[in-house]
Structure 1
Amino acid sequence: MISDKKLIVNSEKGNLLNELIKSIKECQHFYFSVAFINFSGLQLLLETFKEAEKIGIKGKILTSTYLNFTDSKSLKKIKEFENINLKVFVTDKEIGFHTKAYIFEYREYYKIIIGSSNITQSALKSNVEWNVKVVSKKEDEYVREVLKEYQKIWDIGTKADQGFISRYESFLQNLIRKNIYPQVIYEDIEYIVPNRMQKRAIESLERLRSYGENKALVIAATGTGKTYMSAFDVKEFKPKKLLFIVHREEILKKAKETFEKLIVNEPVTFGFFTGNVKQKDADYLFATIQTVSKYYKDFDQDEFDYLIIDEAHHATSPSYESVLCYFNPKFTLGMTATPERSDGRSVFDLFDNNVAIEVRLHEALDDELIIPFHYFGITDIDEVDLSDVDIDDIAEITKRLKVHERVEFIIEQMNFYGHDGDKRKCLGFCASKEHARYMTEEFNSRGYKSICLTGDDSVEYRSQIIQRLEDEKDDLQFIFTVDIFNEGVDIPSVNTVLMLRPTNSPIVFIQQLGRGLRKYKGKSFLTVLDFIGNHNKTFLIAIALNGSRYYDKDSLKVAIATGFANIPGSTHIQMDEISQERILQQIDKENFNSMKYLKEEYNEFKKMNNGKVPYYLVDYLKYDGAPDPIKFIDREKIYLQFVRKVEKDENLLSLLSNVIFEGALKEISGKLPLKRIHEFVILKYLLEHKEISQSIAKREILKYIKEVDSDTIIHAFECLTQSYYDSVQKRGKLQLCELQDGLLIKSDDFSNILKNSEYKKYIKDHIQYGIFRYEKEFKQDYYGIPHFKLYEQYLMADAALLSNYRKIHSSFRGSGLLANGKDYFLYIDLHKEEDIKESINYQDKFLDQKYFQWQSQNSTTQTSERGKNIIYNKERGVSLHLFIRKYKEIDGKTEPYIYIGKGNTVEFHGEKPITTVLELEHEVPQRIYTEFVKKV
């Protein structure tokens, strides 16, 4: 075995955890020496230790009491493994202990990893850490030196027997009682700064205000810092008077404290306006809607400069309506975790459809606004067979889940994986009320204090039980429930979630997962145990965890095979082999584009929509994990046509019988999802105005993006007049606009359609949806001309639109290289169709993340003008834009391309075709690269 060296860092390419798991499974013996071990890191290795124990791999682990950072829970857990010998280096004031070494013994060589990482979740997965791996023969001098030093400290280490661990645990508890552990770091209020989400939201609010908007909505998950964000914005806005309205009195005090903490040394007073306290003269007033809706006329209409509505999804109710109609502030801010509306009215409309920012689960993890979760997908026991049961047959599913052996198995797994903190605070999500009651009885009979909560219980009783669960001294550990904790209930200290029902909705899965992700003092991670059965919709778990509206069979399979490596930070997702295989088989069998599947997806979403028909595209923005309605549009050309078919809705049939309305919807729908926002911003303006000039269009577009080109505005005008449509594209579609004396005006047909309020609300919905979705996916960034975002999905014809191409756009298809002046667009299929492979032996492939090998069209010579532009592209000022897809088609649907940026030719040979090596201007991220090259 030759010597081998490698630097291991935590990045998209991998992390130390993956290296340790792989090494433990393959070695004969392992020897660790780490200063710190805490349970957040140890839990990630438990399954691997168990596998090692089964096959007889033995190990030694040496840790220390240095800085009292190693927790006693970790020591106890390691002691459960008979194959691991544990010692502790007891430090004192004179001697510290700071080693981080991982040694693996193989038959002929050692692998030695020495660096900066201890066994904590962040050190193993997300921190900036350097660890050097050296592989050397057993007789190597370096190996002998390392083993000698390891043996030296091992010999003086203290055996971690039960007596030692008990004494150490008592010592740590004494420090906690004296409030000297863990050490508290002093924080100066002056140095509290906005996090990434808050900065983005504040920038967006400032931009909207600068262009005359006076209302906006912020959508962000519970615990992500919306109240702080609003306080930061108020600090910049400096209103003379502020009104902050909440739905529940219990959160009012915290809101007021947040503002008082951030807004210091300002000549403003703070006060409450509630049922018991009415400090009406305070400058910044914090009120409940119940009180302010009774007394709002005691204030002047323009009394408040800034109005904040917390939990804004309630703001469509009558109590809010009267208050909002009465006051006339300079700016109104709405904040919500979910823009769900319960009464059929639009929260978006209430805030003039201005969404300042939207932060869902994966963004919140990426921005570290919530804590990481450790998800363990565990194959359910054989006694539970759900293979032949309808997932909506709750009674039958309940019957099959009520198995004593399953309860024992759940407890066994729960005790093996453990939890963060001293007291377990667990939510168990069940299939039905009967199932929740059963689990409660079974757990109580085994000595695990549990309570069942359902929608039948009063709000007051639920609050009492939640307080008991959060109380460290109360013996209540488990609340078993059905769906009442899916959203809107805040239990920050929850450290364990049990998924005890088959997952039939990614939305519900994400909501239940989210119940435990709130940051809380001393809480570093959430443990999620999901008992995965053999029902036919198990693959929905993968869709929920993958966290992307864009998915296909292949991307899902790659995510599963790589342990969802695309999930940011210290979050860890681990499925056992049986569950992985079961899900992969289901994905292979499922056709995500079939009418059957789309109907099931639609109907499941309809259930989440309180059983109401989701007539509007913006309904799909309400929930994290909602299906992508573009799939429904792709199926029937018009979303309402899809709804009509599924619902057999005669009213929609009548509505769509108007060919002009149908043509308008078809024209607007055909532009979704937007890759350029300009056209829809212009259409939004034209909903209320007869005409629009270039200067007004520029002003309106700048409300959404940071910069706009004049030529792109002109091109957008031309696109809205269908200047670049061929005869087939125009068929059945309404021409919405016309050019007249440099102004863009509505066509007569479009104007007439908009006079009908029923038609108008559906057209407005489509335009709003397009704008909201664009903002979510492209944010406010400027991409220039051509208007391409790295790693976004594009169709061939999109390049024509986004490069301001002024010929028929449908000509942009059917070829591997298309051009617009000095911009060359390379469309590349990594896996060719079989018939093409036989005629041409293409060699298009990634050489690595920085270099790509590409072959020109079969007729291109080096001496042709096009050939010279390819092989000397940089010298000739030609941009080679690479669009790549893995497969041309999946489940009968043409796949889009991924834009990976520009490349420059650094090598070339041959002709007809010319084989080139392109150096990419942007190294492809590991996540994208893996998806392109990995075969599953």
Structure 2
Amino acid sequence: MVSTVNFEEIAKKKIFKAINESKLTAWKILKEAFTDLKNRIGRVPYLYDFVSHHSIDPVVMVDGKTKSISNYYQFLLEMKEEVPPLTDYENKVLTMLSLEILNGKRKHEIILLDLLLRKQAVNYDEYLQHLCESNCLTNDETIASVKRIFDLSFFTQIDKKKYGDQPIIILNAENDFVFNETIQYSLKVKEYFKHLVTDVIQSGKEKSTLYQCDQPLTLYKKYSRKDACKLLNWNSDERATIFGYKTKYGTCPIFITYHKNDEVESSVDYGDELLNPEVLKWYTRSNRTLNSEEVQTIIHAEEKNIDVHVFVKKDDDEGNDFYYLGKAIPDKKTVQQDTMKDNDGKELPVVHMNMVMEQPIEYRLYHYIKNGTES
């Protein structure tokens, strides 16, 4: 069942729309949700309270889009709540966990953090055992990706700096995962820091129940370009250069904004169209021909063992996240050279083809993307 319409999703859409229109409106929505829950439970709420009371999704409270708040400690300061102080580095670690782990889109990191909060060191094999018990993927590529998240090598320079610029968890010579020494010390002596870290992990664990752990992506869930890089086990965050699609490491994520806004330039206003729940008519980027290497690679994706993953969002009011519609296979019989006009009316070459979905798109989501309604 697709949860396109529930309270949290509606609230999230309202916030994204508000962010597009005015950050002040978005902040007002967040403040109201905080005050409402505080009154309901009779104390300062934490992230897990928002999850357990089915209030606003805590991810939107700390995603940095309103007031540049990127963790819940900063949110509480902004709300003028009295909280014990954190060091600059503790603040950065909390930001990393809030922006990268809280969303629960991959359980692997949460399981390791959860174990490390309970014991000082977690042996590599013990970690794999816990992953198996949770029915999570344990292939080398996924584990290597988890390590890149925690040693920060996956991230851009800007993000690394924002996250404290040093590995958060390391695999030591004894083959044990451990927090770095600064974090170990902070967790030991600062009760409040430990409370905030535990809150993120507990909330992330709850949110992770909405995602399958035995495959990288869950049908109909929402992912950003950065999420796709991470979850498809790319070496680094390449969201800035993916644009509509990119083939790398045996994967080809395709991102489509179905209803483009009026300001979109003609040269990127592609005619991508869901023809029915099983077929997507898809356009390459402009200035591409049948002979372009990247086009040939996608046409022959099946023979080359490249997994094509399709992500679609209805429009830009939905923020940076796209619904994952599953894998698709290019239908070679439908590949066609075509042209499209740029802003000056000049014709540019483009290729389009039908992508056959591995699974037909769920009925309500299909209609929601196409028509903006669920039926």
TM-score bracket, shorter-length normalisation? 0.7 to 0.9
Alignment partner, residue 752 of structure 1: 185
Could you tell me which of 823, 827, 844 is aligned with 2:251? Answer: 823
Could you tell me which of 857, 868, 879 is aligned with 2:307? Answer: 879
CA contact (8 A) 2:13 2:317 kept: no
Alignment partner, residue 61 of structure 2: 632
Alignment partner, residue 231 of structure 2: 802
| Amino acid in the other structure paired with 1:767 | I
Q: Distance in 2 between matches of 1:554 and 1:669?
A: 20
C-alpha offsets along residues 157-210 of structure 1, whole Å, 9 cap, x if unaligned?
A: xxxxxxxxxxxxxxxxxxxxxxxxxxxxxxxxxxxxxxxxxxxxxxxxxxxxxx
| Amino acid in the other structure paired with 1:718 | R
Alignment partner, residue 358 of structure 2: 921
Alignment partner, residue 222 of structure 2: 793
CA contact (8 A) 2:268 2:285 kept: no
| Amino acid in the other structure paired with 1:598 | L
CA contact (8 A) 2:12 2:60 kept: no
Could you tell me which of 738, 744, 766 is aligned with 2:200? Answer: 766
Q: Distance in 1 between matches of 2:60 and 2:157?
A: 25
Alignment partner, residue 214 of structure 2: 782
Alignment partner, residue 692 of structure 1: 122
| Amino acid in the other structure paired with 1:617 | L
CA contact (8 A) 1:660 1:753 kept: no
Shift of 1:766: 1.0
SS of residue matched to 2:114: helix
Pairing of 1:347-746 with structure 2 (within 5 A):
546-551=5-10, 594-609=26-41, 611-614=42-45, 616-623=46-53, 625-634=54-63, 635=66, 636-646=69-79, 648-649=80-81, 651-652=82-83, 654-656=84-86, 658-671=87-100, 672-705=102-135, 707-734=137-164, 735-741=167-173, 742-746=175-179
Q: Distance in 2 between matches of 1:618 and 1:824?
A: 35
Shift of 1:836: 2.6
C-alpha offsets along residues 483-510 of structure 1, whole Å, 9 cap, x if unaligned?
A: xxxxxxxxxxxxxxxxxxxxxxxxxxxx
Shift of 1:550: 2.4
Change in CA separation of 1:554 and 1:763 when aligned onto 2, cut-off 3 Å: closer
Q: Distance in 2 between matches of 1:862 and 1:644?
A: 56
Shift of 1:706: 5.1
Change in CA separation of 1:765 and 1:901 when aligned onto 2, cut-off 3 Å: same
Q: Distance in 2 between matches of 1:694 and 1:725?
A: 23
Asked if 1:847 is matched to 2:252, the reply is no
CA contact (8 A) 1:753 1:759 kept: yes
Change in CA separation of 1:548 and 1:820 when aligned onto 2, cut-off 3 Å: farther
Shift of 1:897: 0.4
CA contact (8 A) 1:851 1:917 kept: yes
Could you tell me which of 285, 290, 296 is aligned with 1:868? Answer: 296
Pairing of 1:142-181 with structure 2 (within 5 A):
none
Shift of 1:840: 4.0
Change in CA separation of 1:840 and 1:687 when aligned onto 2, cut-off 3 Å: closer
Shift of 1:904: 1.5
* Structure 2 alignment gaps of length 5 or more: 16-20, 339-348
Asked if 1:899 is matched to 2:324, the reply is yes
Q: Distance in 2 between matches of 1:812 and 1:767?
A: 28
Shift of 1:841: 4.1
Larger relative contact order, structure 1 or 2 (CA cutoff 8 Å, min sep 6): 2
Shift of 1:665: 0.7
Cα root mean square deviation, aligned: 2.9
Shift of 1:924: 0.7
Q: Distance in 1 between matches of 2:143 and 2:305?
A: 25
Change in CA separation of 1:660 and 1:630 when aligned onto 2, cut-off 3 Å: same
Identity among equivalent positions (%) equals 21
C-alpha offsets along residues 630-689 of structure 1, whole Å, 9 cap, x if unaligned?
A: 11112310112112212x12x32x523x11221121111011202111112111111233
Q: Give the greater-gyration-radius structure (CA).
A: 1
Shift of 1:710: 3.6
Change in CA separation of 1:736 and 1:935 when aligned onto 2, cut-off 3 Å: closer
| Amino acid in the other structure paired with 1:909 | Q
Could you tell me which of 365, 368, 373 is aligned with 1:931? Answer: 368
Shift of 1:852: 0.8
Shift of 1:622: 2.7
Change in CA separation of 1:591 and 1:668 when aligned onto 2, cut-off 3 Å: closer
Q: Distance in 2 between matches of 1:868 and 1:889?
A: 33
Shift of 1:862: 1.2
Alignment partner, residue 344 of structure 2: none
SS of residue matched to 1:914: strand
SS of residue matched to 1:903: strand
Q: Distance in 1 between matches of 2:252 and 2:105?
A: 19
| Amino acid in the other structure paired with 2:324 | Y
CA contact (8 A) 1:705 1:782 kept: yes
Query: What TM-score comes out, normalization by structure 1 length?
Result: 0.35
